[in-house]
Structure 1
Amino acid sequence: MNQLNCLPQDAVFWGENTLATALPRVVNHGIERPIVFTVEPLEALARSHVEPHLEDMAGYFTGLPAHVPDIAVHAALEACLRSDARAIVGLGGGSVLDAAKAVSHLHHGRTGRHLPIVALPTTLSGSEFSHYFGITETDGPQKFKRSYAVRETTPKLVLIDPLLVRDTPRALLLSSAIKGIDHAVEGMRKVTRSHPHAIMAASGVDRFLRVLEKWPAKIETRQALEAGLVIDDDLLQLQLGAWQCYFSPASVIYGLSHRIGHILGGSFGLPHSATSCITLAPVIEACAAYYGDKLEALSPGGPGAAARLAGRISAVVAKLGLPNRIGAFDLDRAKLPEVAALLTAHYPEEVADLGPDAPARLDALLERLW
């Protein structure tokens, strides 16, 4: 029997000038007295393009570091309770939106009511479309990013506007696109080639790669726009690619590339968006036997889809100048056994995707990623 699991999302608005046209209408969806979650570099964007369109704001909360540490989540929850916020507008990337979901979840624990979320994504990972979030636990001997899946925290509304990503730092924007492609690829683990995820993800991967393969080198997005090297529609295509790659998150279960990223990010501090640049292509090749012919849905052309897809992703990462090795970051190579131990302890099913003698294959994979 085939099955598509749907999440409780009211609407997605997309296109140029979406912020100005859709934000004033969020009250029609029950969004009242919102607090804006964002980070300091985005506060000017919030004050110029978000605040003017919101009524009866409860204020701002900007203390949201990467990887959603539990301390920040609890501080954000207290800010919501003090200000009598009744909704959250999340302006930012995956960490901001994960924090919004985490706070909504904890708010329900304290008050019996989830806070509805309006997502204004400034990166391309697609967190705005899912009910998944992570919280990095900081009180143990080793930090650990624990994953949650709470349907009621799915953002109620999503607004996609090229304006949101024009000034996202180049490395963050483009690496988050690779994270978006990671959702498409690993979403194939538990579905068939005819599943809606496969159909939408194929379109999303194609949208992503067609834009990324022509992206200019080195210069920031705003400069590329001013020079006419990219246009707002290119940005919109990337945003739509993120949506298509993550179109049915409640129906898919992600794999080893994501899990390595969770450990490298949550436990060892690597940038979350960069981890898929390091892990995705090698994991596709290492787990090719597990996927079988499924990846032909994303890379048509007959047998050899895993190698084709991995090669295309590797080439894009290299062309864009994105990090493709753990060794590019401040992580001692001697920590790799700890990474392997955490993966084996917390994510044995994903490690098993490597096939026979998975522990030894995992060690070899991590060495390759170094």
Structure 2
Amino acid sequence: MRVLFGNGTVAKLAFEAERLGMKRVLVLSTPEQAAQAQDIATTLGPLSAGVFSQATMHTPSHITELALEVVRREAVDGVVSVGGGSTTGLGKAIALRTDLPQIVIPTTYAGSEMTPILGETNNGEKVTQRTLKVLPETTIYDVSLTLSLPVGLTATSGMNAIAHAVEALYAEEGNPIISLMAEDAIAALAAALPVIIEKPRDLEARTRAQYGAWLCGVALGSVGMALHHKLCHVLGGSFGLPHAETHTVVLPHAVAYNAAAAPEAMRRIARALGASDAAGGLHDIARKLNAPTALAALGMKESDLDRAADLATAKPYPNPRPLERTAIRALLEDAFRGARPKSSNSVIHGAAA
């Protein structure tokens, strides 16, 4: 993939579209970012075929079908996705079905723009696949577009990105280069996010955070996913929980579950956070960012925890520790209540030294 990174890089969009042979470009966004998408469409001038602003989290198939109707009606030959994971997911879903080229302009820290992974929801079930057909052709990182990202979304989007790097450190297909990138990504975001919460328009901190999110996305796209992502796909696809917030809540508990089975990963996570314990450190940074730490606060019902445990263990992703239904149910209970994960210092002693 071609990547442009900097401040003001969105000015190169029309050139990138023409370089990819686009002549009828559809700009995608969520309803909340429709005005920003319209501004982007305006910069495309005669290349613009309009805006589709109905992208929705978890990429429901009925929204994709609506977008495809516009693609056909307007003779669209390329898409530009402006926003976070919801919009990028829609662009990927369109590319999967049409082979149209994609340009992504991220305004959050989702990281999905760097992956050949697509998760789609149909009839209450989220199914994930990996195929190069959905990998965007170009990503344009323009730090200026993140300056107005609300601090609440900054926190959860950043924690979502950290989750990608965390799981890359104990992925079945892990390798030394990706582990280096993942640890640096966690460190970059852990340092930048607290600054952004205090000073949302700090350009240096925003640049550092977007750099970290870029690395997180590369890490996720290069190796596999494990327990954390499986749980979040279940909770989002089957129970409608918000994407980034769910990642924020679940991550410390998934890490605690895997701690004894992946001690080297735990050492690297803790070192990147400047903490003595990986799982506890992740919980603590979420609290420091005033991000949610309990599934109950996201609308999860306690009566649904048993079904969530069943779904999570029905088709498990590869994971350092086998997925045991009773232990997964206990993990979900802790995440539901927002309990700080039990320390695993005996596993990672000296990690932050």
TM-score w.r.t. the length of structure 2 is 0.88
- Deviation per residue, 1:47-75 (Å, 9 max, x gap): 33452135421211112222111100111
Q: Do 1:204 and 1:242's aligned partners in 2 also have CA atoms closer than 8 Å? A: yes
Which residues in structure 2 correspond to 1:25-44 (within 5 Å)? 25-44=16-35
Q: Distance in 2 between matches of 1:254 and 1:118?
A: 24
Identify which of 298, 313, 317 aligns with 2:282.
313
Whether 2:195 is the aligned partner of 1:214: answer yes
Which residues in structure 2 correspond to 1:34-183 (within 5 Å)? 34-107=25-98, 114-138=99-123, 143-183=124-164
**Superposed CA RMSD:** 2.3
Which residues in structure 2 correspond to 1:268-283 (within 5 Å)? 268-283=239-254
Pairwise CA distance, 1:263: 1.1
One-letter amino acid of the counterpart of residue 239, structure 1: Q
Q: Distance in 2 between matches of 1:65 and 1:216?
A: 26
Q: Do 1:285 and 1:306's aligned partners in 2 also have CA atoms closer than 8 Å? A: no
Identify which of 3, 7, 31 aligns with 1:16.
7
- The secondary structure found in structure 2 opposite 1:73 is helix
Structure 1 stretch 27-36 or stretch 122-131: which is displaced more? Answer: 27-36
Whether 2:332 is the aligned partner of 1:361: answer no
- Unpaired stretches in structure 1, ≥5 consecutive residues: 1-8, 108-113, 218-223
- Deviation per residue, 1:183-206 (Å, 9 max, x gap): 101012236886211111111111
- Deviation per residue, 1:302-338 (Å, 9 max, x gap): xxx9962222221110011111111112222011011
Whether 2:235 is the aligned partner of 1:294: answer no
Q: Distance in 1 between matches of 2:246 and 2:67?
A: 26
- The secondary structure found in structure 2 opposite 1:90 is strand
- Unpaired stretches in structure 2, ≥5 consecutive residues: 337-353
Which residues in structure 2 correspond to 1:215-294 (within 5 Å)? 215-216=196-197, 224-225=199-200, 230-294=201-265
Q: Distance in 2 between matches of 1:149 and 1:298?
A: 26
Tell me the residue number matched to 1:184.
Answer: 165
Q: Distance in 1 between matches of 2:176 and 2:308?
A: 33
% identity of equivalent residues: 27
- The secondary structure found in structure 2 opposite 1:100 is helix
Q: Distance in 2 between matches of 1:131 and 1:192?
A: 15
Q: Distance in 2 between matches of 1:145 and 1:179?
A: 17
Q: Distance in 2 between matches of 1:323 and 1:73?
A: 30
Q: Do 1:186 and 1:255's aligned partners in 2 also have CA atoms closer than 8 Å? A: yes
Q: Distance in 1 between matches of 2:49 and 2:41?
A: 13
Q: Do 1:131 and 1:149's aligned partners in 2 also have CA atoms closer than 8 Å? A: yes
One-letter amino acid of the counterpart of residue 155, structure 1: P
Tell me the residue number matched to 2:351.
Answer: none
The alignment covers a number of residue pairs equal to 336
Q: Distance in 2 between matches of 1:306 and 1:361?
A: 25
TM-score w.r.t. the length of structure 1 is 0.85
Tell me the residue number matched to 1:4.
Answer: none
One-letter amino acid of the counterpart of residue 73, structure 2: R
Q: Do 2:172 and 2:318's aligned partners in 1 also have CA atoms closer than 8 Å? A: no
Distance 1:348-1:163 versus aligned 2 partners, 3 A rule? closer
